[in-house]
Amino acid sequence: MFVMLSRGLSRCHDVCLAATMFVSLPRCLSRCHKDSINSLERRDQVIIFRLRAHHAPVNAHLNRIQPMTFPVCHFCDAPYETTTHLLFQCTSLQDLREEYLPPRPDAWNTLYSNSQQLKKTSTFYSQMSSRRAKVQTTAGSDE
């Protein structure tokens, strides 16, 4: 039995969010209700899953696999380009954030929301990746 709170979260989800957000919440979702990720196209499912698991090919993650890759953000001076940084913090992506993410984005309302928002989050990631590739190409042409 779950009590709906003012933000639309059940007590169960609050417990999961208070624990480890990206490990416990998927288990909670499968136990509590259907996960909207299942209604997405395969391509969007992969993007959302990777973002949830922090296994998207961003520099901080790539640095752990291949130390020759610097962990810094492509867009700003942040020392670590993580999924959290790109989704919620990087000031260079504020325009994409305003277009595709909720007004006050967090892990819950961007990665565990309804299918429409998950699709928008996937589009945010695709647009960011495209912009990131252009930054890499531009940086490479200076040499």
Tell me if 107 contacts Zn ion by CB under 5 A. no
Count of other CB atoms within 10 angstroms of residue 126: 15
Residue 111 near residue 121, CB atoms below 8 Å:
yes
Cα distances (angstroms) measured from residue 16 to each of 6, 19, 26, 29, 33: 17, 5, 9, 9, 14
Tell me if 73 contacts Zn ion by CB under 5 A. yes
Tell me if 75 contacts Zn ion by CB under 5 A. yes
Task: Tell me the per-residue interface mask from 108 to 137 with Zn ion, x by CB under 5 A, - otherwise.
Answer: ------------------------------
User: Whose Cβ is closer to Zn ion: residue 10's or residue 89's?
Assistant: 89
Find the shortest distance in angstroms from Cβ 80 to Zn ion: 9
Find the shortest distance in angstroms from Cβ 23 to Zn ion: 25
Tell me if 58 contacts Zn ion by CB under 5 A. no
**Single-letter amino acid code for the residue at 88:** F
CA-based nearest residue to 90, from 63, 67, 72, 103: 72
Residue 82 near residue 74, CB atoms below 8 Å:
no
Quote the CA–CA distance of 134 and 121 in Å, as a whole number: 20
Stretch that binds Zn ion, among 19-27, 41-49, 76-84, 125-133 (CB under 5 A): 76-84
**Single-letter amino acid code for the residue at 2:** F
Find the shortest distance in angstroms from Cβ 79 to Zn ion: 10
- The footprint of Zn ion on residues 84-103 (CB under 5 A) is 90
Tell me if 78 contacts Zn ion by CB under 5 A. yes
List of residues contacting Zn ion (CB under 5 A): 73, 75-76, 78, 90
